[in-house]
Amino acid sequence: MADKTNSNSAEANNSMLLHGKYELGRLLGHGTFAKVYHARNLKSGKSVAMKVVGKEKLIKVGMMEQIKREISAMNMVKHPSIVQLHEVMASKSKIYIAMELVRGGELFNKIARGRLREDTARLYFQQLVSAVDFCHSRGVYHRDLKPENLLLDEEGNLKVTDFGLSTFSEHLRQDGLLHTTCGTPAYVAPEVIGKKGYDGAKADIWSCGVILYVLLAGFLPFQDDNLVSLYKKIYRGDFKCPPWFSSEARRLITKLLDPNPNNRITISKIMESSWFKKSVPKDVMGAKREELDLEEKIKQLEESKSTTMNAFHLISLSEGFDLSPLFEEKKREEKEIRFATTRPASSVISRLEEVAKAVKFDVKKSESKVRLQGQQRGRKGKLAIAADLYAVTPSLLVVEVKKDNGDTLEYNQFCSNQLRPALKDIVWRTSPSENPTPA
């Protein structure tokens, strides 16, 4: 058994032998109560994701039942589109959960680059519905379905994860309903908000509807900075489908996001719908696989070079992928410019210096960062712009430009009037029929 001192020491060294069975490697991610490491089974040589949870912290906040529930749920749902639980181990101070290692990142990161083609969205939705249907057949309700909890493997297949908020049919009250309010606000069903008891299966179906909308639209159906106003929109089912939604997709989403759970479409009816039953063209599968293969190569580069940016925060560089989102707004109120270029860092820095000189901005620079600051005070102080340069490959840079200080309106005007025109000719693009070339 690994004691607490050894575990802490191992985490500091980022490598340890766990129970004589697993070699614990680099940290993959962490939350409030757990850390997830890359680990290798010494006997089989197979890589896994090892979730390490501190018992003391869980007991302190009364979450031992939740972790037990998560483990029980994962034990009950063995399905190709659900992250698999391999085994659970424990020491005096920690719980170790060995799970399937899913390397393709979150579906959320793919949507963050823009809406998906309808065929691609359908493929992911079909896998999601299949996984959710299997969970429900085992009496397990996820209750926190969202793109951040949907992972992609190396083949581009969807995997549902994070059963921390799941519950079972035996937890239903005498009225046959669940009564615990949980989930992520934008994805939670109206009946859950209403606190009158809800059917876990119908609540999951609502969340699937929100996910499908996001896949096709690139944004949420229910949005509001004020949580009360957001809940009112959800409670009323107050949303609109963008004009590019097909009529079949529009009909299905309207049935999924029916605020009355008694009228909401069931999973069997979803599977019978004409939109759902359409087969996915082979070219969609092939393009998706190529994109993920290239993302994995870039991710490996990122792990070997400190100057390389995380691939899933950037782009897919596969031929034919639309790079226009890299030169578009991050948020409606404040723009963040992100683009790829085949020009060397010195050329990008020189171009930024030219912009600064033209508008009489001061410049501070290093090999991978440039800061431009206005000399005149604006509405909220002197405007400052920061540009970070990341080497993806020896011949490819990604540049991120964002506001570092000052007024957002002044920053947006600077981007539109000075920065974009000055940088536009060095943006790297691809087209379906051509190899990547500098613009």
Instruction: Let me know whether 243 and 122 are in one domain.
Output: yes
Is 291 part of a structural domain of the chain?
A: no
Q: CATH number of the domain that 20 lies in?
A: 3.30.200.20
Q: What local confidence, expressed as pLDDT, does residue 423 receive?
A: 85
Taking the model in full, what pTM does it have? Answer: 0.58
| Residue whose structure tokens are 């109120």 | 333
**Does residue 58 fall inside a structural domain?**
yes
Q: Is residue 121 part of a domain?
A: yes
Amino acid at 145: L
The answer to whether 297 is annotated as binding is no
Q: Are residues 10 and 87 in the same domain?
A: yes
Residues 92 and 116 placed together within one structural domain of the fold: no
The H or E element spanning position 371 is strand 369-378
| Distant-in-sequence contacts of 138-141, Cβ < 8 A, 24+ apart | 138/76, 138/77, 139/76, 139/168, 139/169, 139/170, 140/73, 140/76, 140/77, 140/166, 140/167, 140/168, 141/166, 141/167, 141/168, 141/169, 141/178, 141/200, 141/201, 141/203, 141/204
Residue 253 sits in the same domain as residue 357: no
One-character DSSP codes across 307-364: TSPPGGGS----TT---GGGGS-SSSSS--EEEEESS-HHHHHHHHHHHHHHHTEEEE
Quick check: is 86 in a domain?
A: yes
| 158 domain-assigned | yes
Same domain for 35 and 138, yes or no, is no
Q: What is the CATH number of the domain that holds 180?
A: 1.10.510.10
Q: Among 84, 100, 116, which residue terminates a domain?
A: 100
In a domain, 12, yes or no: yes
Residue 296 CB partners (closer than 8 Å, separation 6+): 103, 104, 154, 311
Q: Are residues 271 and 323 in the same domain?
A: no
Asked whether residue 22 is assigned to any structural domain, the reply reads yes
Q: What is the pLDDT of residue 123?
A: 94
Number of domains in the chain: 3
Q: 396 has which bridge partners?
A: 393
Q: Are 352 and 334 in a shared domain?
A: yes
Q: Do 45 and 184 sit in the same domain of this protein?
A: no
- Single out the residue in 254, 277, 300 at which a domain terminates: 277
DSSP state at residue 297:
H
- Same structural domain, 66 and 191: no
| Domain contains 29 | yes
pLDDT tens digits, the chain, 439 residues: what are they?
A: 444 444 444 443 444 778 788 998 888 877 767 788 999 999 899 999 998 888 887 777 777 777 777 788 788 888 899 988 888 888 888 888 898 998 888 888 888 888 899 999 999 999 999 999 988 888 888 878 888 889 998 888 999 987 655 454 444 444 444 444 445 678 888 888 776 777 888 989 999 999 999 999 999 999 888 888 888 898 888 899 999 999 999 999 999 999 999 999 999 999 999 999 887 665 555 555 555 554 554 444 444 433 333 333 333 333 333 333 434 334 444 556 777 788 888 888 999 999 999 999 999 988 788 999 998 888 788 999 998 887 766 667 778 888 888 888 888 888 888 888 888 888 764 333 333 333 3
Residues 71 and 209 in one domain: no
Instruction: Write down the pLDDT at residue 284.
Output: 54
Domain boundaries, position 319? 309-438
The catalytic residue positions are: 144
Instruction: Give me the pLDDT at residue 283, please.
Output: 54
CA 409 to CA 151: how far, in whole Å?
37
**Those residues with Cβ within 8 angstroms of residue 133's Cβ, 6 or more apart along the chain or in another chain:** 267, 271
Side-chain half-sphere of 331: how many Cα atoms within 13 Å?
6
Helices (H) and strands (E) in the chain, counts: 15, 17
The residue among 72, 100, 128 that closes a domain is 100
Residue 92: per-residue pLDDT: 85
